Every structure is written in C-alpha cells, then in structure tokens.
A = this chain, B = another copy of it.
Amino acid sequence: MKQFLPTTLKSLWKKPQIGNVVDVYGWIRSLRKSKNVCFAMVSDGTCQQPIQVVATPEQAHLLSYGASVKVQGKLEISKKAALGKQQYELLAEKIDLYGKVNNDYPIQKKNLTTEFLRQYPHLRVRTAKQNDMFRLRSDTLEGLRSFLAKNDFIETNPPLLTSSDCEGAGEVFLVTPHSKENDFAGNSNVSNKDEQKSLFFGTPTFLTVSTQLHLEALALGMSRAYTITPAFRAENSHTSRHLAEFWMLEVEIAFIESLDTLTDVVEDLIKYLIQYLQEKGHYREHWNHVLKQWHRISYTEAMDALKNSSNAWHDPPEWGNDLSSEHERYLTDAYLKGPVFVTDYPASIKPFYMKPSSNNTVAAMDLLVPQVGELVGGSLRKDSITSEEVPKGLEWYSEMLQQANTPHGGFGLGIERLLAFLEGNATNVRETIPFPRSSGSIFA
C-alpha cells in the first residue's frame, strides 16, 4: 500500500526511528511552559500514547491547551526514559498552529464528569477517556468479526425498514416520507399528511427492533449469517442501559440442534473477544475474572435461587414472570458472582418463534452479566409454523419455514451493553456510543 496520508502516532510507535526528523499531527492534551522550555503532550487519537514535544518559548508562545498543531522535529529518546516515564520526545524544529480554541472551549484539562461531557457529544471524543472508549468500540467490532469470519460466518445486511415487528414488544418508530419543501428545520409542528404514509411503501413502515427474522432467511441459504446493525426502540426509558438507537450483533446458524451448542458459541465468542482486545493493547482489571468459568442454570433453577434468598424483593420472584433487574443483579453479582446463562424460559413470556423445550418452556437462553444485566438473548427457532400462527404481515416467514427448513437458532448481542460490561465501573451505555439517542433531546 502506498503512503498517501500523514504519519499517525500509531504507526510512529510501531517503528520509532530515533534521530530522524518527522512530522506529527494532533491536538495538545497538556502544556507546561517555563522560562526556557515548553513541554506539550500531543495526541492524534489513533492510539493511547501521546508524544511529548519539547519546544522553545518562542515556538510555543501561540500554543494553548486543546489546539491542533503540526510539529516537525527530531525524534529522540527522552532523558526521563530511564526513570520509567515517557520513552520518546520530539525536539521541535517547526510548529504550525492549525486551529486555536476559543475561550468558551468546554474540554479543559480537569476532571470533567461523564454527565458534563455528554452535553458536548461533538467534542468529547477529544478527551483521552472517550477516545479510549471509541477505540475499544472499534477493536470490539473487529474482534467480533474476526471470531465470526474464522468460523465461516457470512456478514450480511438485513433491512432496517420493515412492515412487521419481530419481537411484538412495545414501542416502535413509524417512518414516513417527508418533503423538504415543508420547511421543517426548527419547526416542531411538522405537517405530515396521512396519504404520505400509505403512498411510499404501500404499507405502514417501521424501524426494525431486531433483524432476526430476515437474518433467519439468509442463514437458511448461507448456513451461518451475521449482521452488526442498528436497531431502534421507542421506549421512554432513562436507565443507564437503554438507548432509542443502538447497535446489535445478530447471528443465525443453520443445522444447530442443541441449545447448549448455541450457548457454547456465545461464551467462546466473548472470551475470544477479550483475548483479542488484550492482544490489541486494551486492559481492564476485571477481565481476568471474566475469563474464568461461566455458569448455566435453568430459569426454574434461577427462580428457586431467588425464592430461597433472604432478599426483600421489590418484585417477588414468581415462576411465569420475567426476571426483573433486581433479580438479574442478584444472580450475577451476589449468587453466582459472574456471567450466567439462564435457559428454558416459560413459553408464555417469550416470542412466537422459539422452539419448545418442554410442554411449557422454550429452548431460549439469556446471558446475564454483572452490573449490566441482559447482554445476549437467543434461542433455537421453531421447525415449522403455519401462516395462522404468525403475526399479521409475517406470512412470508411461515412460508419460508415450510420450504427446506433446517434446525436453526441464533442470538442477539447489544454492542453498547457489551462495551459497558467490558469497561466495567457501571459505565452508562451513553458513554459507549458517539452520539447517544434516547428520549429527551437531540443536541447534535
């Protein structure tokens, strides 16, 4: 590959050519000026390690915290390398100031809370902490894909616009064409004629809550299909683990006959990912604990454990009801102290497409993890289903299962929840995605 673009710090650190004159580009992350010398830490966001620039007061006099610069200088071993501090420094020969910051620049070198930074989604990427999170996000997507490619999965893109609601679960977004001629900007009384709704697609159209049913169609021809895709829920939730727009890994596998095998795949995927991230230089203390034995219990066993505990429940556990957040937290944080797969849920609380595992349970599994709760949900899928048994608009799904179906199953994994789990410290999903969307307002 030819080298068209300026050198990044990431590539510089791969082979630091001591004594050479190099150009580096980035933003000033710290600045220390004294009478004779000035030290600036410059980061370009491509890796964790910034570069220390050593400049004269004359070279540095226009510089300020946050500014963007190009520095030409000689790369040297730092005098402090022996002290275990930064290994390299750049002796500035020429500094070009690209962009200053104004007095109202909110990103300052002090402890900015995540809540404060959330007000500036267009600027917070410039902090070391958010920058590190977004690199973790990038490497996580890469790691998930690496596992799937090694196991012969084919990446695909099922539709986001859909006329049916896979989960039958709650609130969706309606999508209607809108002409720019009705000047909408800033006007909250958008007029939206009923005719428009039926005209465009010929049927009411929604944003997908899960692409699973379409992905099943693709797995029934590709054997192993996956997508990393946006999904949408119009829930008015303000918890630390709900977003109106989120990303999901969805996986469907043909010729799979056992729920245990599906569970094995999920456990192996996440353990592989953590090792992949470690090899990429990421580190979080709790990962070593996560890599140990995971637990599997049936929903019925989980209910028994909840009932036998001495906890004073807000929602008393009862067979046939869904697990609430306090139940999930008890199982992962107190009872088993680690990730746990809960299997074989009551059929009555699960969607129509899940395969029975007894006369009143289905071959479903949810992965619950500490602090975050439900991270993965999956199941074996029914072998056949009549067009009368499916929700309206899903006749194609029933038709599909009638034609050369195979045993199959799959799961969905929330990317933002995965990142909150990986990061630990009860991270809010709003910190794991660049521009979080949830009910309230859209600033940028």
Binding site for B on A (CB under 8 A): 1-2, 4-6, 8, 10-11, 25-27, 44-46, 66-68, 70, 98-102, 105, 107, 121-123, 125-126, 130-131, 134-135, 137-138, 141-142, 145, 147, 149-152, 154-165, 168, 170-180, 184-190, 192, 194, 197-207, 214, 217-218, 220-224, 229-230, 232, 234, 236, 244-245, 247, 253-256, 261, 264-265, 268, 272, 391-393, 396-397, 399-400, 402-407, 433-435, 437, 439-444
Contacts and interface: CB of A to CB of B under 8 A. Distances in A.
A434 B218 contact: yes
A5 B67 CA distance: 52
Nearest to A260: B4
Given A66-B403, A138-B154, A406-B68, A439 B200 contact: yes
A101 B66 contact: no
A186 B179 CA distance: 25
Contacts of A261: 4-5
A70 B255 contact: yes
Contact of A224 (B8, B224, B439): B8
A207 B400 contact: no
A163 B201 CA distance: 23
Contacts of A178: 171-174, 206, 234
Contacts of A2: 264, 268
A285 to B, nearest CB: 24
A126 B178 CA distance: 36
A287 B208 CA distance: 36
A62 to B, nearest CB: 13
A403 B442 contact: no
A141 to B, nearest CB: 5
B186 A393 contact: yes
Contact of A205 (B98, B256, B393, B442): B442
Contacts of A163: 442
Contacts of A11: 152
Contact of A400 (B122, B175, B179, B184): B122
Contacts of A402: 102
A58 to B, nearest CB: 21
